[in-house]
Amino acid sequence: MRRFNTAVLAALTLAAGLTAVPAAHAHGGRAPLGIDNCTATACHFDLAPGVYDVKVVLGGSVASGTSVTGETRRALLPETAVPAGERVVRGFTVDVRTPEGEPTGPAGTAGLDLVLGGSAPALADIRVTPARHARQIFLVGDSTVCDQPAEPYTGWGQQLPQYLRQGVSVANYADSGESTVTYLGNPQLWDTVRPLIRHGDLVLVQLAHNDKTTDEATYRANLETLVAGVREKGGRPVLVTPIVRRWFNTDGTLNNGTALLVNGLGVDHPAVIRSVAAAQHVPLIDLTARTKTVVESLGVEGSKALYLYNEKRDNTHTSVHGATVYAGLVRDELLARHLVPKGSVRVG
């Protein structure tokens, strides 16, 4: 894999198909990547692992609607409408790593891959540069959070980047099937994430779905270990209660066991998380309470679209729609608790 220490540039002009743009020589005499790195629907940049700022110019001769995803199905930019003949500039910051998705999953494709989607994609220009002062949001979690490799499965962490502007990136180290016990015990997980944490980085921890046989004392101690580990690196831990499972009582409310994450030993995971957050003075995102409200308000039928009930009879894992809704709740909580600057978040 080649390393580029200077700006990486690619341009597309869609008015008359793809048209080459003369390449300006970058610092050090190395020419930036050019138009050959993009097609009408995708771009590939031969980049070393790292954090990169991406600036896109959207629009063309006709009205367009463009979204951008990247790496392992990460939503990086929501669909953006541009009137005919106009241009808009948008930016985002992306984490490029190996493996590019789940930490215990396949390596994926080296470098940065972007896919153009939306109702009528139109990319007029794109520029990729190393991010010098990006803030990282690390995610520690399970399959309801992770970058799921294949549709229709989608974690809320996979949808979170689209809500953040350039300057803040999401480093999603959630992994399917993990509990607090396995996450701490696997060298590919916590031992890999912890050294990457820098001063001021946020680390959101949502682990509960797979702690089905973890007793309360162990569960509490594991959460405290994660909090201490983040703080030792100068990071800012944030505890997140788990998203609910879609299991209803006959009266239309969610049941107090399976749906609300009480395990077979009687451990009320959300309650323990809330308790640890209060005792350790850690910010809390009560995603259990927020998702419970959403699911119960939609009811038995309406809530099916949030999960993979129709596709897989799955009441735990979310659809693209559900993951997007739940990522929006996380975005709202990050703002409400002043964990990220208001200007760094997309709210529309």
pLDDT of residue 37: 79
Q: pLDDT value at position 28?
A: 32
**CA-based torsion, 13, 19, 22, 28: positive or negative:** positive
Q: Look at residue 38 in the predicted model and tell me its pLDDT.
A: 84
Give the pLDDT score at 260: 97
| Mean pLDDT per 10-residue section of the chain, whose length is 348 residues | 34 30 30 64 94 94 97 97 97 96 94 96 93 94 97 97 97 98 98 97 98 98 98 98 97 95 97 98 98 98 98 97 98 97 89
Element (H, E) at 85: none
Domain boundary assignment for the chain = 8-130, 135-343
Domain 8-130: top CATH class: mainly beta
3-state secondary structure at position 157: helix
Q: Model pTM?
A: 0.90
With 0-12 / 13-18 / 19 or more C-beta atoms within 10 angstroms meaning exposed / middle / buried, residue 58 is: buried
Same topology between domain 8-130 and domain 135-343: no
Type of residue at 270: P
pLDDT of residue 34: 54
Task: Output the CATH code of domain 135-343.
Answer: 3.40.50.1110
